[in-house]
């Protein structure tokens, strides 16, 4: 394929679209590409196939009202592009569009994607072979699961065997898990045959209680389908089955706290009686999920919590012996598609943002920033799939406990990547997270699809942030949450997640979030609707609503503070909630300018009546103030008032703060 051929295709495209509406999709395709396809098939070089795939994709972008023709072009793009590495990018994009456009044919599309990985592995250089093999393994498993969901366990078994052969050489840690999946797929074939036989028998003799019991237990354990098992229950069956199976049919995270403990014990009892691998696998996964859910919603550290913890360890040991994972039925966490939450008309903070074919795309100017209307109080995992269309940089803004920061990749002309800021030092300063590259040679090349995974874990006042780029470790940092601040050029208005870039254009294909810590799910923010009053009010810096909302106008350089008192011996601010709440966590954000030292010796107190106060924080007056103070109450405390004050000193002083967030038990 050359430039001239492409011009011919474009001219033919216009003629085709305007021509006979009665022509079939295949006929339209032949009109567009028939001659080019014949030329390519006559050559032995796969390079021509790759060039033709790229031409297919470009031509497809010009089609507007031809959905069936576009689907066929995407199919051919994947088929031709898979033959040579030069066409893999076009082929992968075509498969992505097929999965998005026609999800009902997922097995077909994932089969096309497997052919891409197969060629990539076969043609990989020695240094890249391990990474290519892992991608091939991943796709074998994805397709195997798709076949299993479609009921074709025979093809699933073949794919698991392919994955296992590769894993034994290139990814030995996954071999045990794949072996377990292979056994489950093989066992499922015989299970489905037995299910068919039992159904036939029960249809012939509906009063056969023994056959009904066998079918119920097969659906419940070996096929892990309590809904199907529930449809087979009748009044003659055991009361415990009639009680537990309907409970097990509802989502785990909707199960009441007491029922979680009961169902965990029940599945453990079923485990002791189970004889097949499939039944034991289901029992272990289900029991583990219910115990985890119980611990997530149960606040007290009592005997029940201890029993649930011991049971989980016992189940994990049994799962390890069988080579299975206990996360097959998960209560929490779950992945959330963040792109679905974003409306460019509402959430744009700076620049131009649009949605094109399901991707979120920013403009190309000095600064682009868009808010994601969600935050996280505890730990989480985040996955981003994107393509830098122009220049070098992609950034994401992250809440990290009491801190708030950004991960920048390929910033400053591609030279610096890292967390910005740490202890008020940007990644370009550099700081302890900085990864350097040559100028204009960024970690992610322009036009290449990239995947970034971010893991945030919190322990007390510390945070651990790990970032991988295309499956490889890229950034790792551990330190105090209070050390983290947002790079000062980002005009953020809240503590939500956000996406951004400087002087670059990026298309985000997917952004997903998975909350890890139960605190995210069992607390509520109660300070946004509160009110507050100062001991004295400065006429220059009057109190602003942003102190409680975190949004809108702030005073001073770098949007430093939301209020300032007059000079006095012991200035304070009192926050009044709308009603009494069980307080669990309080985050106080210091002012951001060069006068943070004025908040030395900060104290915090809570009260139910506004008269009797209980101190919950006393900052060390001999140490410099922190950017943020996080107060975790081990036992939720009932209160309606919070007072933040400065310890009386030798001199009069002012109190200025940027914000407060008060979290209570749901």
Contacts of 126 (CB under 8 A, 6+ apart): none
- Rounded alpha-carbon distances, angstroms, from residue 465 to 91, 255, 382: 34, 32, 11
Instruction: Please say whether the beta carbons of 479 and 463 come within 8 A.
Output: yes
Give residue 383's pLDDT. Answer: 96
pLDDT of residue 330: 38
Residue whose C-alpha is closest to residue 581's, from 530, 521, 628: 530
Residue 361 scores a pLDDT above 90 = yes
Across 78-230, where does the E strand assignment appear?
Answer: none
Same domain, 182 and 274: no
State the pLDDT confidence band at 15, using cuts at 50, 70 and 90. very low
pLDDT at 84 over 50: yes
- Residue 112: DSSP 8-state: H
Q: What is the model's pLDDT at position 23?
A: 62
Tens digit of each residue's pLDDT (9 = 90 or more) over 218-254: 999 988 899 999 999 988 887 778 888 998 998 888 8
**Contacts for 144 with CB less than 8 Å, ≥ 6 apart:** 155, 156, 157, 159, 160, 163, 181, 185
Top-confidence residue, 8 or 599: 599
Instruction: Assess whether the previous peptide bond of 333 is cis (omega < 30° from 0).
Output: yes
Produce one character per residue of 125-137: b if its CB has 16 or more CB atoms within 10 Å, e if not. eeeebebbbbbbb
What Å distances lie between residue 271 and 187, 276, 290, 320, CA to CA?
Answer: 17, 10, 14, 15
pLDDT band for 640, please (50, 70, 90 cuts): very high
Same structural domain, 555 and 446: no
The answer to whether residues 355 and 297 belong to one domain is: no
Domain at 14, CATH number: 1.25.40
Query: pLDDT for 616-632, tens place per residue?
Result: 999 988 888 888 888 88
List pLDDT tens digits, range 107-165: 888 998 998 899 888 888 888 888 889 999 999 999 988 888 777 878 888 999 999 99
Tell me if 88 is assigned to some domain: yes
What CATH number is given to the structural domain containing 578? 2.60.120.260
The predicted-structure confidence for 549-598, as pLDDT tens digits, reads as follows: 887 788 986 678 999 999 999 999 999 999 999 998 898 989 988 888 88
Backbone angles phi, psi at 518, to 5 degrees: -60, -25
- pLDDT tens column, 168-227: 998 887 888 788 778 777 777 788 888 999 999 999 999 899 999 999 999 999 888 999
Q: Write out pLDDT tens, residues 364-400.
A: 878 899 999 887 777 889 999 999 999 899 999 999 9
In a domain, 422, yes or no: yes
- What does the H/E/C string look like for 30-72? HHHHHHHHHHHHCCCCHHHHHHHHHHHHHHHHCCCCCHHHHHH
Which tops the pLDDT comparison, 95 or 65?
95
Quote the DSSP letter at residue 490.
-
For 587-615, what is the mean pLDDT? 91
Confidence grade of residue 52 (pLDDT, cut at 50, 70, 90): confident
- pLDDT at site 8: 44
Chain centre distance of CA 434: 24
Q: Work out the pLDDT band at 517, boundaries 50, 70, 90.
A: low
- Band the pLDDT of 301: cuts 50, 70, 90: low
Residues 18-47 have pLDDT tens digits of: 444 446 788 888 887 888 888 888 888 888
Structural domains of the chain, count: 4
> What Cα–Cα distance (Å) separates residue 130 from each residue in 134, 270, 395, 444?
6, 41, 29, 20
Mark whether 372 and 496 lie in a shared domain.
yes
- pLDDT at 64 (0 to 100): 65
pLDDT reported for residue 302:
66
Rounded alpha-carbon distances, angstroms, from residue 240 to 237, 243, 266, 269: 9, 5, 9, 12
Q: Which two tokens mark 80?
A: 């031709």
Which pLDDT band holds residue 277 (cuts at 50, 70, 90)?
Answer: confident
Q: Is the pLDDT of residue 599 over 60?
A: yes
Residue (of 574, 577, 580, 632) closest to 608 by Cα position: 580
31-40, 539-548, 604-613, 637-646: least confident range: 31-40
What CATH number does the domain containing 487 carry? 2.60.120.560
Same domain, 404 and 501: yes
In this structure, are 163 and 224 located in the same domain? no
| 8 A C-beta contact, residue 524 and residue 663 | yes
Angle subtended at Cα 448 by Cα 445 and Cα 453, rounded to the nearest 5 degrees:
90
pLDDT at residue 197, rounded to an integer? 92
Residues 354 and 276 in one domain: no
Q: What is the pLDDT of residue 580?
A: 95
- Kindly state whether residue 30 falls inside one of the protein's structural domains: yes
In a domain, 194, yes or no: no
Asked whether residue 370 falls in the same domain as residue 436, the answer is: yes
Among 64-73, 75-84, 404-413, the least confident range = 64-73
Are 308 and 378 in the same domain? no
Note whether residue 19 is domain-resident. yes
Query: Is 546 a domain residue?
Result: yes
Asked which of 186, 218, 237 is the last residue of a domain, the reply is 186
What CA–CA distance (Å, rounded) separates 417 from 426?
A: 10
**DSSP code of residue 626:** P
> Distance (Å, rounded) from C-alpha 167 to C-alpha 146?
20
Residue 618 CA to residue 604 CA, distance in Å, equals: 7
Q: What is the pTM of this model?
A: 0.42
Q: Examine the fold and report which residue of 127, 153, 186 is the final residue of a domain before the chain moves on.
A: 186
- 391 and 460 part of one domain: yes
Q: What is the pLDDT of residues 401-437, one digit of tens each?
A: 878 899 999 998 889 999 998 988 998 888 888 888 8
Q: What is the pLDDT of residue 178?
A: 85
Give me the residue label for tokens 């942003």: 546
Whether 530 has a pLDDT exceeding 80, the answer reads: yes
Domain final residue pick, 476, 497, 517: 517
Q: Could you tell me if 510 and 539 lie in one domain?
A: no
Mean of pLDDT values over 468-489: 89
Residue 196 lies in a domain: no
Structural domain containing residue 52 = 3-186
Residue 370 Cα to chain centre, angstroms: 18
Does the pLDDT at position 49 exceed 70? yes
**Domain annotation covers residue 330:** no
Question: Do 428 and 471 have their domain in common?
Answer: yes
For the sheet with 416-420, list strands across it.
348-350, 368-372, 497-501, 394-400, 403-410, 416-420, 435-436
The residues, ordered by sequence, that sit 6+ positions from 275 with a Cβ below 8 Å of its Cβ are: none
Give the pLDDT of residue 645.
Answer: 96
């Amino acid at each position: 394929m050359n430039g001239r051929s492409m011009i011919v295709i474009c001219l033919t495209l216009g003629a085709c679209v305007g021509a006979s509406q009665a022509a079939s999709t295949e006929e339209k395709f032949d009109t567009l590409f028939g001659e080019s396809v014949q030329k390519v098939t006559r050559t032995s070089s796969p390079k021509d196939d790759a060039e033709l795939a790229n031409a297919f994709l470009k031509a497809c972008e010009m089609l507007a009202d031809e959905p069936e023709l576009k689907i066929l072009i995407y199919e051919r793009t994947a088929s031709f592009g898979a033959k040579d590495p030069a066409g893999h990018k076009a082929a992968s994009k075509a498969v992505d569009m097929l999965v998005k456009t026609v999800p009902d044919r997922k097995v077909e599309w994932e089969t096309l994607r497997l052919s891409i990985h197969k060629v990539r592995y076969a043609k990989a250089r020695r240094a890249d072979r391990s990474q290519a093999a892992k991608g091939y393994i991943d796709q074998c498993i994805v397709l195997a699961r798709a076949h299993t969901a479609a009921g074709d366990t025979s093809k699933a078994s073949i794919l698991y065997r392919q994955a296992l052969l590769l894993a034994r050489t290139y990814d030995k840690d996954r071999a045990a898990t794949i072996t377990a999946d292979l056994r489950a797929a093989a066992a499922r074939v015989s299970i489905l045959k037995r299910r068919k036989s039992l159904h036939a028998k029960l249809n012939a003799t509906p009063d056969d209680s023994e056959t009904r019991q066998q079918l119920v237990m097969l659906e419940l354990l070996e096929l892990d389908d309590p809904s199907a098992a529930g449809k087979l229950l009748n009044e003659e069956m055991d009361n415990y089955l009639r009680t537990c199976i309907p409970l097990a049919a509802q989502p785990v995270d909707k199960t009441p706290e007491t029922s979680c403990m009961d169902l965990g014990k029940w599945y453990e009892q079923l485990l002791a009686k189970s004889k097949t691998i499939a039944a034991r696998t289901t029992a272990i996964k289900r029991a583990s999920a219910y115990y985890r859910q119980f611990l997530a919603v149960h606040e007290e550290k009592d005997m029940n919590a201890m029993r649930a913890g011991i049971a989980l360890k016992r189940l994990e040991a049994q799962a390890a012996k069988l080579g299975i994972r206990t996360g097959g039925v998960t209560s929490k966490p779950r992945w959330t598609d963040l792109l679905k939450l974003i409306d460019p008309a509402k959430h744009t903070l700076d620049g131009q943002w649009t949605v094109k074919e399901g991707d979120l795309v920013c403009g190309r100017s000095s600064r682009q920033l868009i808010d994601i209307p969600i935050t996280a109080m505890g730990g989480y995992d985040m996955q981003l799939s994107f393509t830098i269309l122009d220049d070098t940089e992609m950034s994401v803004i992250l809440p990290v406990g009491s801190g708030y920061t950004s991960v920048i990749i390929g910033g400053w002309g591609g030279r610096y990547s890292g967390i910005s800021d740490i202890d008020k030092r940007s990644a370009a300063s550099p700081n302890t997270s900085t990864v350097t590259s040559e100028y204009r040679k960024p970690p992610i090349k322009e036009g290449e699809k990239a995947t970034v995974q971010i893991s945030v874990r919190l322990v007390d006042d510390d945070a651990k942030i790990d970032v991988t780029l295309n499956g490889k470790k890229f950034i790792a940092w551990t330190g105090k949450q209070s050390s983290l601040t947002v790079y000062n050029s980002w005009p953020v208005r809240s503590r939500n997640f956000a996406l951004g870039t400087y002087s670059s254009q990026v298309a985000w294909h997917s952004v997903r979030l998975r909350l890890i810590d139960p605190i995210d799910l069992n607390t509520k923010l109660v300070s946004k609707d509160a009110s507050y009053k100062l001991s004295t009010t400065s006429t220059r810096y009057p109190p602003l609503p942003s102190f409680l909302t975190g949004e809108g106008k702030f005073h001073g350089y770098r949007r430093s503070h939301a209020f300032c008192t007059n000079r006095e011996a012991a200035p304070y601010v009192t926050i009044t909630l709308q009603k009494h709440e069980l307080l669990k966590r309080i985050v106080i954000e210091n002012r951001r300018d060069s006068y943070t030292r004025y908040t030395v010796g900060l104290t915090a107190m809570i009260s139910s009546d506004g008269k009797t106060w209980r101190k919950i924080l006393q900052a060390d007056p001999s140490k410099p103030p922190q950017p943020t103070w996080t107060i975790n109450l081990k036992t939720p405390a009932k209160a309606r008032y919070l007072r933040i004050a400065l310890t009386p000193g030798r001199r009069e002083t002012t109190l200025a703060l940027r914000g407060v967030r008060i979290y209570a038990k749901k």
